Amino acid sequence: MNVPKNEFKRVVIIGGGFGGLNLAKSLRNKDFQVVMLDKNNYHTFQPLLYQVATSGLEPDSIAYPIRKIFKNQQRFHFRMASVEKVNTADKVIETNIGQLDYDYLVIATGTTTNFFGMKGVEKYAMTMKTVSEALDLRSLILQNFEKALLANEEEQESYMNFPIVGGGPTGVELAGALAELKNHVLPADYPDLNIKRMKIQVIEMQDELLKSMSDNASKKALSYLKELGVDVMLNKSVASFDGDKLTFKSGEELESKTLIWAAGVRGNVINGFPETSIDRGMYVVDRTSKVKGFENIYAVGDIAYMTTPLFESGLPQVAPVANQQGTFLAKNLVRVRNNEKPLEFEYNDQGSMATIGRNRAVVDMGKIKFQGTLAWFVWMFIHLISLVGFRNRVITFFNWSYNYFSFDRGARLIIRKFQRN
C-alpha cells in the first residue's frame, strides 16, 4: 500500500465511523501521521439509516465523503480498503490493496448484525447497518406493494406484513416511520390496495421496549406505537424464518415476505488477535482504550469492551461513547508520545432519546425525562447538529420540513431492484 513515509509517528485508524472520525479530527496539528482505512469512502450517520429505508431521506443526506472531511488536514491519508488481518508481531496490517505498517493502531470497526446462529434469518431477513442495506430495504418495501397489486388476497397479506425484530431505538423508530407511511403516504400511492391491511409488528423478547431507557420512556413508546396502529409483541422469541413465514419459539407463525432484523449486534473483529484480547465479540480494553495484551494497539466505539465503576457491564454501544472515546484517545496518544502517563476515560452520559413519528419522541437526560412534541423537536435538533457537513444539515432540515407540512415522503424511488440471493 502506497502511503508516503515521514518523520512523524504513524497512527493507523481502521474504520471511519464516529470513533475513528473524532480521533482523526482531534489529531489535527498533533505531529502524527494519520492513515485511515475504511471499505467505504464515506462516513455514515447511522442513527438516520431508518429514514433512508422508509423514504424520508436520500442516502447523500446522511453520508459524507471522508476525503472531504479532512481535505485541509496535513499528514492525513485515506485509503479505501478492507482489512484482512493484523500481524501484531511485525506491526503490519494486511489489506486487500497491500500491507501497511503502523506505530500506533486504533481499531474502530464498529459492529455488524448478530443473527444468534439462526441461518434462515441470516439468509432471508433484511438488516439496516449500512447505506446499501437501507436502500435494499427501501426497494423491497416498495416492490412488495407493487407485487401486492397483482396478488390474491392471501398473498397480499404476506406482502403487506412487516415484522420488526428488536424493541430498541432502531426497531421502535423504524416501526414509527413505517406507520406514518401507512397512515399518510401509501393510501394515495396505491388507491387500488386496501392499505389498512398493512400490518407492522415490533417483536421483542424482553418484557418492555427501549430497555436501556427509563420506564417512563418505555411505557410512552409503547403507547405511541399502539396509537399509530403498530402491533407490539413482547416476550416473543423468533425460532426461524424461511422467506415466507416467521416462526416463534412458542410455535406460532406469521406469514410475511419481509422480516426486518434489528435485534442485536456483534463486533467486527479482525483476524490476528488472541482470544484473551476478545470478550463478548469485542476487544477488551482498559480505561485508556488500550487492547488487552498490547502496548500500541487501541480500540474505540462499539468494538471496544470497556468497564468503568459506573458501567460495570461495559459502556453502551452508542455514538456518544465512540465520539468521546475518539477525542479522549487523541489526548492520550499525545501523552504516550511525550512519555507521560495516559489518563483514564470516564463516559459523560448526556442521555438518550428515540422518536416514534411526528410529534412523538421520548428523551431521558439524567433526572430530566420528557416526551411528546418538545422531545421530538429536541431529537431533531440534536440529530441535525450531529450530521457531518453543512449541506447535509440543510438538505435534511428541508426534507423534514417538507415531510412535516405535506405529510409526504419525497424519496419513494426504487433506484435499484432488490433480489434475494
Q: pLDDT tens digit string along 105-116?
A: 999 999 999 998
pLDDT of residue 416: 82
In the residue annotation, 173 being an active-site residue is answered as: yes
Confidence of residue 262 (pLDDT cuts 50, 70, 90): very high
Lookup result for grid cell 407485487 = 147
**Tens digit of pLDDT for each residue in 158-187?**
999 999 999 999 999 999 999 999 999 999
Which DSSP helix (H) or strand (E) runs through 402? helix 390-406
One of 3.50.50.60, 3.40.50.2300, 3.40.50.300, 3.40.440.10 is the CATH number of 9-39+81-113+265-337, namely 3.50.50.60
**What mean pLDDT, rounded, does the chain reach?**
93
Two domains, one topology: 9-39+81-113+265-337 and 119-263? yes
What's the pLDDT tens digit per position in 142-154? 999 999 999 988 8
For residue 252, is pLDDT > 90? Answer: yes
Parse the chain into domains and list their residue ranges: 9-39+81-113+265-337, 119-263
Question: What pTM was estimated for this model as a whole?
Answer: 0.92
421, pLDDT greater than 70 = no
Q: What is the pLDDT of residues 189-204, one digit of tens each?
A: 999 999 999 999 999 9
The grid coordinates of residue 291 equal: 487492547
Comparing 417 with 208, the larger pLDDT belongs to 208
The percent of residues in the chain predicted with pLDDT above 90, rounded, is 84
CB contact at 8 A, 387 and 62: yes
pLDDT score at 148: 94
Q: Dump pLDDT digits (tens) for 92-142.
A: 999 999 999 999 999 999 999 999 889 999 999 999 999 999 999 999 999
Of 277, 314, 279, give the one whose Cα is nearest residue 294: 277
Candidates 173, 180, 344, 346; catalytic one: 173
| CATH number 3.40.1010.20 given to 119-263 | no
Determine the residue type at 360: R
What digits encode the pLDDT tens for the residues 24-57?
999 999 999 999 999 999 999 999 999 999 999 9
- Burial letters for 77-109: b for 16+ Cβ neighbours within 10 Å, e otherwise? bbbbbebeebebeebebbbeeeebbbebbbbbb
Rounded CA-CA distance 33/107 in Å is 16
In sign, the C-alpha dihedral spanning 185, 188, 189, 194 is positive
Q: Percent of the chain scored above 70 by pLDDT?
A: 100
Indicate the SS3 state at residue 81: coil
409 has pLDDT over 80: no
